[in-house]
Amino acid sequence: MKVYMIPFDTIGKRSPLLYGQFIEHFHRQIYGGIYDPGSDQADENGFRKDVLEAMRAIHVPVIRWPGGCFVSSYHWKGGVGEKRTPYFDKAWRVEESNEFGTDEFIALCRKLECEPYICTNAGTGSPEEMSDWVEYCNLESEGQYARLRIQNGHKEPYGVKFWSVGNENYGSWEIGAKASEEWGRLVKESAKMIKHVDPTTELTAAALTDIHWNLELLENCKDFLDWISIHQYWDHIHETNRPADYNQAMAFTAHTEDAIGKVRGLLMAMGLEKKIKIAFDEWNMKEWYHPNVHSIEQGVEKKDYLYPRDDNDDNSIYTMADAVFTACFLNALNRNCDIVGMANFAPVINTRGCIYTYPEGIVLRTTYHVFYLYTNYMGDIVRNIGCPDMKRIRVVNCEGMPEEIDALDICATGFSDRPGIAIAFVNKLAEEPSEIELHFEAAGKVKGYYICGKSVSSYNDVGNTQVEILEEELGDFHPGMKLCLRPHSVEIIRIGC
């Protein structure tokens, strides 16, 4: 397969926020995950040092918190100050200690030198409660909540730039779900109050690919919004925890850009594509496993709805299928960097996260290595690339229907601050290598960085590392250079870097 690239034919400059992450008060993401004061691994603030080190290595640019479904019954004022009152979290049906709140989240972001992104309660909350939260975080000293922050030991404002009005308030599963007509009005009033507190904030609001919902939202709120938020999980297994097999996962890769295309089209039709960007602020291939909660008939005993969540910790289900899909989606985000300005992998830790914690240490799942490859080796200027003789393969999707998909997913980048080219190649073929020829002008040494596995089922676990990043020297570049991509692999080659 021949790969072509035209010099200076660029799509745009990718925002670093495309490689963002997400944490929610669900299962072991916060407590026993990133925040574990009782752990031997904890620092002076209760954060796991090994987790912080792993997150720094993938240069996390932004973290979205506190949810997620959790936020729609979360009242932030109970999670600040010395007196923290536990309460029953009606979203996930557990007691929330309130030990980790706004101040702890900001401390985490400061340690990681990343942007905090706060999602507000638009379920049981109010516009006033949302704007009070902005006052607490961003005002210097005016008002009772800025003074409360100072009283709590934080004199300087936090300067939180990114805020979301709500989570998935369009969904019946969300506490405080809204009709589209209600939503547009609520977002408008919330945005007005937030902007009155701090006009420099950048606001997004919950949306989806439904035209009616988005029209109501945008017609009411286009003057206040900087972003529009969309979420997607492709493997719908929240009730079963039975993941798609490798070929079914590859069928998902043919649809990584569907939602982006639909929302882009609406923004363009309304003349808003230059004003409002897409925040794909919750995504993963696999849905989280939480049976008998987001359904009319609730599990009664904890063995029916709570204890099964431990099955999210089965590292054997996070295989090269997850890695290949994740790389394909990151490629899609890059190719749409002119309209998608932020994305947040859900979540960064435990559940379906790329980092798994246990008392003695951490496991870096296959998806972690994908983020490492992209954040450390890819460039920020996304370039158009062509492969006119792309091989097509047939797979069977989760509905049992055959689909034809591209055998490769390719994303080419340059660098805004130095010469060189970095190209990500994702070979979706389960057992076969793919040979490619590079037909473009470039100069310099070629170096490759890649992950694959002995099989598509390769995974990492405690004491069992089957997938890791490997490197190879490939010699001097010349037009027509041939490369052999390994089966089920994610490979980045850098030329002249």
Any idea which residues carry the catalytic annotation?
168, 282
Neighbours of 438 (CB within 10 A): 21
d(C-alpha 12, C-alpha 339), whole Å = 10
What is the maximal distance between C-alpha atoms in the chain?
A: 67
Please say whether the beta carbons of 225 and 203 come within 8 A: yes
Please say whether the beta carbons of 289 and 318 come within 8 A: no
Q: What would the two tokens of residue 450 be?
A: 């890649």
Query: What is the DSSP code (8-state) at residue 15?
Result: P
Q: Which residues contact 100 (CB under 8 A, 6 or more apart)?
A: 25, 30, 31, 35, 79
Please say whether the beta carbons of 404 and 354 come within 8 A: no
d(C-alpha 468, C-alpha 410), whole Å = 21
- Give CA separation, 35 vs 28, 60, 105, in Å: 9, 17, 10
Q: What would the two tokens of residue 200 be?
A: 């420099």
Neighbours of 7 (CB within 10 A): 11
Q: What would the two tokens of residue 154 be?
A: 């934080």
Please say whether the beta carbons of 421 and 6 come within 8 A: no
Q: What would the two tokens of residue 216 be?
A: 């109501």
Query: What is the DSSP code (8-state) at residue 470?
Result: E
- The partner residues of 12 in beta bridges, in order of sequence, read 382
Please say whether the beta carbons of 51 and 355 come within 8 A: yes
Please say whether the beta carbons of 399 and 382 come within 8 A: no
d(C-alpha 408, C-alpha 154), whole Å = 50
Please say whether the beta carbons of 243 and 235 come within 8 A: yes
Q: How many CA atoms lie within 13 A of 67 on its CB side?
A: 25
- State whether residue 18 is helix, strand or coil: helix
